[in-house]
Amino acid sequence: MREARQVQANPHPVEALGSDLRELGALSRVFLRRRRALGLTQRQVSDACGVSVQWLSEFENAKGDFGVVRVMRVAAVLGLSLAVHPRPVTDIDLVFEQLRAEGQQR
C-alpha cells in the first residue's frame, strides 16, 4: 500500500481545478479529481484522515450529509483548504433591496 504523501497546498486549489462551488456536488468533484491526480486510493485517504471508505465514497459522489470537520480533514490530506468568502452582490440582490426600500416607504 502506498503511503499518503504530503503535498504542498495550492494557494488557489479551486481555481486551479476549474470548479464552481455552488453546490456540494461541485465541491465533491474537486476532492475526487485531486485524489485521483495525487494517485491515491480511497482507502489511503480514508486511513490518513480517519474516515471510512464508505463515507469518502459517498462524499465523492455527493450522497449524504457530511460534517464540516470530516470534509476539512479530507481537504488537509489532499493538500486543499476551504475558505469562506462574502457572496458578491448580484443584480437580483440590488433589485430586492430596492423593492424592500420602496415597500417601507409606503
* Res. 14: pLDDT tops 50: no
The residue to which cell 456536488 is assigned: 25
> How does DSSP classify residue 3?
P
Q: What is the mean pLDDT of residues 73-91?
A: 82
Q: What is the mean pLDDT of residues 80-90?
A: 76
Tell me which of 3.90.850.10, 3.40.50.2300, 3.30.499.10, 1.10.260.40 is the CATH number of domain 13-105. 1.10.260.40
pLDDT band at 84 (very low <50, low <70, confident <90, very high): low
In sequence order, which residues have a C-beta less than 8 Å from that of residue 72 and are 6 or more positions away?
82
- What pLDDT is stored for residue 77 in this prediction? 93
* Res. 93: pLDDT tops 80: no
At 24 the three-state DSSP class reads: helix
Read off the pLDDT of residues 15-67 as tens digits, 9 standing for 90 and up.
Answer: 444 444 456 788 888 999 999 999 999 999 999 999 999 999 999 998 877 78
